[in-house]
Structure 1
Amino acid sequence: KLRLARLNAGPSATEVRLAEIAVDQAKNSLWGAQTARDAICGAGPGPACSSANSGVASAESAVIAAQARLDEVKTRKPSPEDLALAELEVQSAYSALQAAQYTAGYEAQVAQAKSAEREATIKAHETEVAHLEANLSRLETRLQQMRLVAPFAGTVVALSARAGDKVEPAQSLGILADTAEVGLEVTVSEAQLPEFAVGKEAQVVIDGFAAQKLVAKVARLPDKPAQEQSARTYAVRLAFAEGTKLPGPVGTGADVYLASAKKQVLVLPKGAVSQEGDRSFVAVPSGSGTRLVAVVVGVASATEMEIVSGLQEGAEVLLIEPTASTK
């Protein structure tokens, strides 16, 4: 300012133009510094932002100084020495402008690179987290598939495998029983099924406990056969009376005697009845030989079988001798 104060002569057009250029350059430098500062400080406060603000302040001072010199040039005529000094100052301001622009541009590039690197790091972490979550889900599913889960609450009453045994797919490992509701499943033939009705009473003798006769009722009839091969069979569910305690373990076999409204029941030893497919026959004397008579059987025990029809009371029946087979 002291040197410019000595400018007392009227300026030439070139001198005025140089001063105007200096002002324009100072303003451009200020604009560049402000743009760089906005880009840098937009990412958050820090050393880079402070440096950018300092650059803006310096550029503002340079604009004020250049404008003052322009005013002095227009109002006073500078001496050659003062003009040289003014030109030197303009050149110095121009160099400062270039340095500020370079610094601001470099810092903006660094800030942009850091921002891109930060975004890439975040994306990489998000990808890794998604991969780990998928792997965890897969392991949890595999663990769930490896667990043997009971289909209902109950007690294991029998085991056919021990820890360390090799097992095959669909292999039976034991028997799980719901001891809160112990029942009995009876396999009957298609001819015997009509004798069963829901609520009908039956006597049950557990194997090995012939002296104890338990009371049960038909609880459920099957919707379809349990076996569809040569002879259809049906699984009928019986329920014991409330409070019944089984003398033997769950899973033990038993004989079932179905209560009947019939006053008289025709019963034969099991050895007198033969089975061919789903048909039953008994052998009766015929002249000097025998002939087979088709009969309909009913309820059976371990030793006896009820004859529903096909045979009259008092008829003579022969026991069928079992035939040995050779291989």
Structure 2
Amino acid sequence: MSTKKTIYKQLTETRYILFAVACIWIFFRHTFYYNQYSYGVIDPIIQIGDCGVDIFMFLSGYGLFFSYNNNPNPFIFYKKRVWRIIPTVMILLIAFAITESIFRDSTTKYFNLSYWFYQIYSNYWYIGAILLFYAIFPIIYASAIRQTALTLFLSLIISLGGIILLDMGNNAAFKQLIVYFARLPIFVIGCIMGYKSKWLEKSWIFLSLLLLGIPLLYIFPKEYQRLCYCITTVGFILIISKISYMLPRSTAKIFNILGKASLEFYLIHIFMLSNNVLSIINKIIPSQIIASFTCLILASILAILTHLFISTILKRCIA
């Protein structure tokens, strides 16, 4: 079996575990950042949990390359991507709006188009970013297979230039686009690694970049720190993927189930944290660590159940 096949098979087999790890990492990062929770000696690991987003971005770009390469039809590509994301996002956002309206006085904002745009653009920015990257993916794909090095270079220049310009500006709404620009290179890298899978054979390069890049994650300001994750993410993915094979079968199964519900988990945990669910749990359970794990488990269960529910509905619609 060739190394190329082995790398592809490895990432394919551990894909959902990687998604689950990314979900958990992001969750604790958010509790660390927004709730100022501390987890002792593992705080330095939690602090760089933004890498979880880059894991999603890399694997999305990587997986999309093979999907689009097998059938380079933009219409079919967009149809699959929209069908996978939009129904889930809209069902959950409507559910969130109903939940908020029950506990809050004003309901008029929910009838305003700007409210829904702001939710996807800012509160749930990952959805806005990944939809944008899906929209331009055929262009990235065509460019990557013709001018690989130039495509990577341009993605870095566009990303850095966008961050600098937005950082210099005073418009708070536009500054949200910093997180969009910061994740463009890792998405492009994922696509390129699909095209140049043999590059992943040289794992020592990515592990060396990981070691060199980690200090930058703590040194640079947050606006530029996000861009530094494109140096470290592939190394993290290769390590986590290898470790995944060492997990007990029952643990791996749970991670796989959660990984399949990663989109739902992302939306649900953001909603829970932004509506102080963790703080409420912490009032009942004094320990921050236990409260966090309780909230994580609750978000995971809700995500899995929601995923099963929505998947069932969509399958019946197709049938």
Question: Taking structure 1 as the reference length, what is the TM-score of the superposition?
Answer: 0.20
Larger gyration radius, structure 1 or structure 2? 1
User: Would you tell me which structure has more helix in proportion to its own residues?
Assistant: 2
User: Would you tell me which structure has more strand in proportion to its own residues?
Assistant: 1
Name which structure has the greater RCO, CA cutoff 8 Å, separation 6+.
2
